[in-house]
Structure 1
Amino acid sequence: MIECELTEEQISQETIFEGKIIRVYKDSVRLPNGKSSVREIVRHPGAVAIVPQLDDKILMVKQYRYALAKETLEIPAGKIDPGETPETCALRELREETGYIGDITYIGGFHTSPGFTDEIIHIYQAVNLVWSPLEADEDEFLNVVPVLVQEAMDLVIHNGLHDAKTALGILLTCGGNK
């Protein structure tokens, strides 16, 4: 196999859309072979996801997801606000979505779909939970659902969850607890 330079050089950039959460760009790029191509890129400020463990349960949230036109069962998560650290965001989202505060540990981060977006989600585990609610966002409607750790693992293994951050978060924090 022949190795070659794999980087692409930006030639120009056009803003296609600027929204509340994302920005979409259309970039012209020079490929490693000298030819040009177009890349459509979604820029995202980043997010966090938290696996809150209370005794032998994971506190999950059930909410309606408009893009999917159905309810989903997920771990608490949210967008990082400007100037906010991922850790601060994780503590805020944990309180807003579950009503609990606790000790959090950084598990790792992953890029959701690097073929078209720079979004990164930082995953945290939360333990030693204490009731300390914050008011939920005004456009957010969800129900907290305690799920046994083994039941959550079964949902991951048997494709019962359709949310990548939730499946990965559960695997990374509970995978060895089977």
Structure 2
Amino acid sequence: MKHLQKPKIHKIETIARSRLFTVEAVSLEFSNGVQRVYERMRPSNREAVMIVPIIGNDLLLIREYAVGIEEYELGFPKGLIDPGEGGIRGR
């Protein structure tokens, strides 16, 4: 398999901020000379947690409203870790 060369990053610019994310414009140049600008969301300094509840051979999901798609969806429970809280790790 041919080794893939990572694109060269020419510039990273913060274009928006919210309480949860920073949106960055990343100017890239690929090995074939093509240049593109992509936008990415970076999390704030807060950490998050996701729980994968397993009972026997079953995974439990919750139904919650996803504002991005304006619909309810099934997913694992998740949320932000508040200052002073720690993530719990278990088996």
TM-score (norm 2): 0.63
Q: Where do residues 27-42 of structure 1 align in structure 2 (5 Å cutoff)? A: 27-42=26-41
Provide structure 1 residue ranges, at least 5 long, that are not aligned to the other structure.
Answer: 92-102, 106-178
Q: Greater strand percent: which structure? A: 2
The Cα shift of 1:23 comes to 1.2
Provide structure 2 residue ranges, at least 5 long, that are not aligned to the other structure.
Answer: none
Equivalent residue for 1:76? 77
Residue among 85, 101, 104 paired with 2:90: 104
The Cα shift of 1:10 comes to 1.4
Q: 1:17 to 1:74 in 2, by over 3 A?
A: same
Mapped to 2, the partners of 1:82 and 1:6 lie a distance apart of: 39
Q: 1:82 to 1:23 in 2, by over 3 A?
A: farther
Identity %: 29
Equivalent residue for 1:61? 62
The Cα shift of 1:76 comes to 1.1
Query: When the two structures are aligned, how many residues end up with a matched partner?
Result: 89
Mapped to 1, the partners of 2:84 and 2:34 lie a distance apart of: 39
The Cα shift of 1:22 comes to 1.4
Residue deviations 1:44-101 (CA, integer Å, cap 9, x gap): 35643212245786554332222232333332112356787xxx33x3xxxxxxxxxx
Letter in 2 for 1:17: A
Choose between structure 1 and 2 for higher RCO, CA contacts under 8 A separated by at least 6 residues. Answer: 1
Letter in 2 for 1:73: L
Q: 1:35 to 1:67 in 2, by over 3 A?
A: closer
Q: 1:38 to 1:68 in 2, by over 3 A?
A: closer
SS in 2 for 1:51: coil
Residue deviations 1:98-156 (CA, integer Å, cap 9, x gap): xxxxx723xxxxxxxxxxxxxxxxxxxxxxxxxxxxxxxxxxxxxxxxxxxxxxxxxxx
Contact 1:5 1:32 in 2 (8 A): no
Q: 1:24 to 1:55 in 2, by over 3 A?
A: same
